[in-house]
Structure 1
Amino acid sequence: MRSGAPNSSCGYPGHPTGMDMPALMRGARVLLFVVGGLQLTVGVLVAGLFAGLVANAGGSIADAVAVVSVLLGLGALSIILGTKFATGGGGVRVTTMVYASLMIVACLGSLGLGDGFGLIFTGGPVIGLACGGFILALMVTAQAGAWFHRPR
């Protein structure tokens, strides 16, 4: 507990959990926000790039919309998961582990194929692999289990 107020863990008295978020969970949360921000940024950049290519070459707009939708959707999911860390239960933890696992698989596939598929996860396969590995490693710790299964 913090020393400012009795029974306070989140800055206000009477917070029901009585415990602070572990540092490992704060680290995973920050990584989710960073990954989400990168995905949203790359999504906007890809949207502009595809809009220019479609306008110049008369290509398929459906492909551009699909890629941009996936990027923006994954970015939003990452940020939503990060925000749910403070109040979420086991479902948030499991969803975060699945999300990080899919990120690792996509980035390994991208490294193996040598194509731009890793662009979907954070703009590059090496960055995505590192972030996904860290997030997954932090989610499988005992502190994560205790945090997400605490009484609310």
Structure 2
Amino acid sequence: MSFGDPNNPYGQPPQQPPAAPPAAPGYGYPAAPPGVPPQGYGYAQQPAYPGYPGGNQMLPQSMPGLLVTARVFLFLISAVQILAALGWFYFAAIANDVSNAADSYSSSSDDPFSSFGDGAGIASGVLVIIGLIAAALATLSITLGVKFGKGGQGVRITTVVYGALGGVVGLISLFVGLDSGLATAVIFPLIWVTFAAIITAAPVVPSGTAWFARPRY
């Protein structure tokens, strides 16, 4: 009886070829658990969150609707303020022309034309100052509206103060209009108070506060 016979039940079993060793993980990568493909060289990496520390922060949301409304109101107010500034400058020019004409007709300092000319000159200077104030307020309104997109707490606080002061002026004008009994004297102050209230409230509500406190990268 030969041990080399493959049909011999008492012979040695045929030797199996050696099993291939398990694939080692890539250099510098830990071994992956069963069922998870390795992340070594040649394997696609898992996508990560784009460019934010911690990798799990949400992308900045769009500007809240109330802030968008306040921004539009700021631009509308700036347009009114620009028109008002141009009007004040125009009236100042008229007063200056009147002052010059009165001075040309006056013959002495006691002449009534001289006094009228002096008054017109003073009025012209006052109107110029008012026009400059209106132009400065228009610049502030436009700046705040533009800064809503990237501004921080400074823009937020300035907007709240600016809107509150505008609301106070609007309320005073509204009370004066109500006291006059004229409907036309109430409409414009009422619109102004509404605009000022929205401009003041928009940065204070939670959505507005979160918008100005959002991280910027």
Instruction: Please state which band the TM-score falls in when normalised by the shorter chain.
Output: 0.7 to 0.9
Pick aligned residue for 1:34 from 76, 91, 105: 76
Pick aligned residue for 1:100 from 163, 167, 174: 163
Name the residue aligned to 1:52.
94
In 2, the alpha carbon distance for the partners of 1:47 and 1:110 equals: 23
Letter in 1 for 2:75: F
> Does 1:136 pair with 2:200?
yes
- TM-score, normalised relative to structure 2: 0.55
Q: Considering fraction of residues, name the structure with more helix.
A: 1
In 1, the alpha carbon distance for the partners of 2:193 and 2:94 equals: 30
Q: Which one has the largest radius of gyration? A: 2
In 1, the alpha carbon distance for the partners of 2:148 and 2:201 equals: 16
Name which structure has the greater RCO, CA cutoff 8 Å, separation 6+: 1
Name the residue aligned to 2:126.
63
> Does 1:21 pair with 2:21?
no
Q: CA offset at residue 22 of structure 1? A: 1.4
Name the residue aligned to 1:126.
190
Name the residue aligned to 2:17.
none
Question: Structure 2: which 5+ residue stretches go unaligned?
Answer: 1-48, 51-58, 100-116, 178-187
Structure 1 ranges of 4+ moved more than 6 A: none
In 2, the alpha carbon distance for the partners of 1:104 and 1:128 equals: 7
Deviation track 1:59-100 (CA, whole Å, cap 9, x = no partner) reads 213211210011000011000000000010011011001001
Name the residue aligned to 2:32.
none
In 1, the alpha carbon distance for the partners of 2:78 and 2:196 equals: 12
RMSD of equivalent CA atoms: 2.1
Aligned partner of residue 202 in structure 2, secondary structure: helix
- TM-score, normalised relative to structure 1: 0.76
Q: CA offset at residue 113 of structure 1? A: 4.3
Q: CA offset at residue 139 of structure 1? A: 2.2
Name the residue aligned to 2:139.
76
In 2, the alpha carbon distance for the partners of 1:36 and 1:126 equals: 17
Q: How many residues align?
A: 130
Aligned partner of residue 101 in structure 1, secondary structure: helix
